[in-house]
Structure formats: structure tokens, C-alpha cells
């Protein structure tokens, strides 16, 4: 019944954190590369992405509230040039004030012009009066399962690993 530790503060994740999900999926949370991160954290993440042969898909989380930054674009270019499969998850979309500006920034970023465009998943951050549900989470779960060759509704494996 243990959950992953999380913080509201940026820069909380310092190391690679691996989670075995039902003996079917291994999810790895990597340190961030932007605000309140260190060069070493970015290097750990980039080396992992380059060298992990079993890596099936990468999910790049970008705050919709803050928009796509220069470091995000550098990471996207790095993954694209190195053939690292990835999707982009925009978080905190409920905090985006100007949807037209968000769309213009997205178009200006060049992300939509990549030869193999990643899927874009928009999620909201909290439950509120205006948002009674976590939008985008079901789609994100579906994409994760699909990336691992599993069907929606897959249950955890009961077999113990030897």
C-alpha cells in the first residue's frame, strides 16, 4: 500500500526511481531538467534515455501553465535526434488562462512539425468547482498500456518473478 513520494516543490526527484506495476510495467520517474534542477540531474536523465535498451516509451511532462520552454525544446530535439520514442503530457491545463496563446505557442514551438509527431495528452492538475474530474488521465493510462503491448483493463500479474 505504499505510494511514490511526491512534493509540491520543484526539484524533489533527485534520482531515477523505478516502480514495478503488477509485474507487467516498469515505470521510471527521472529527475527534472528545468527549474530547481542541477546539471547532474539532467545528465542522469539523458544518459538513461540514451542507454536503456528496454525503454519502450518516454512521457515528457510539461506544465501547460508555464508552456513549452527552451529546455523542453532541447529535450524534444534530443529525443527526436536519438530516436527515443516519446509522447508529450501537458499538465495543469486547468491553470492555462489564455488557450489561444497556448495554441499559438504550441504551433510556434515546432513540436507539431516533427516527422513523427508525438501524441499530445492534456491533463488537469486538481479537482475544482470547474473541473470535477482529472481529465486526460484515462487517455494517458491507455497510451501507457498500449505502449507496453497491453490492452486496456489489463490486471496485475499474480505470478511471482523467479
Q: What is the pLDDT of residue 26?
A: 86
Opening angle at CA 122, ends 116 and 128, nearest 5: 175
pLDDT at 89 over 70: yes
Highest mean pLDDT among 3-7, 115-119, 124-128: 115-119
pLDDT confidence band for 154 (50 / 70 / 90): confident
Mean pLDDT of the chain: 83
Q: Which of 29, 53, 27 is CA-nearest to residue 41? A: 29
Q: Is the pLDDT of residue 118 over 80?
A: yes
pLDDT band at 88 (very low <50, low <70, confident <90, very high): very high
Amino acid at each position: 500500500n505504499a505510494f511514490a513520494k511526491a512534493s509540491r516543490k520543484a526539484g524533489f526527484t533527485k534520482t531515477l526511481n523505478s516502480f514495478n506495476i503488477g509485474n507487467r510495467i516498469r515505470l521510471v520517474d527521472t529527475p527534472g531538467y528545468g527549474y530547481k534542477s542541477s546539471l547532474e540531474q539532467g545528465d542522469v536523465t539523458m544518459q538513461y534515455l540514451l542507454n536503456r535498451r528496454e525503454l519502450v516509451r518516454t512521457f515528457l511532462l510539461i506544465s501547460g501553465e508555464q508552456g513549452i520552454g527552451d529546455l523542453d525544446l532541447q529535450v524534444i530535439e534530443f529525443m527526436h535526434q536519438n530516436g527515443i520514442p516519446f509522447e508529450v503530457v501537458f499538465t495543469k491545463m486547468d491553470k492555462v488562462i489564455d488557450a489561444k496563446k497556448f495554441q499559438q505557442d504550441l504551433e510556434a514551438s515546432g513540436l507539431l512539425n516533427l516527422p513523427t509527431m508525438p501524441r499530445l495528452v492534456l491533463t488537469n492538475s486538481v479537482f475544482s468547482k470547474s473541473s470535477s474530474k482529472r481529465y486526460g488521465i484515462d487517455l494517458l493510462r491507455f497510451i501507457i498500456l498500449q505502449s507496453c503491448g497491453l490492452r486496456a483493463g489489463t490486471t496485475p500479474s499474480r505470478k511471482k518473478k523467479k
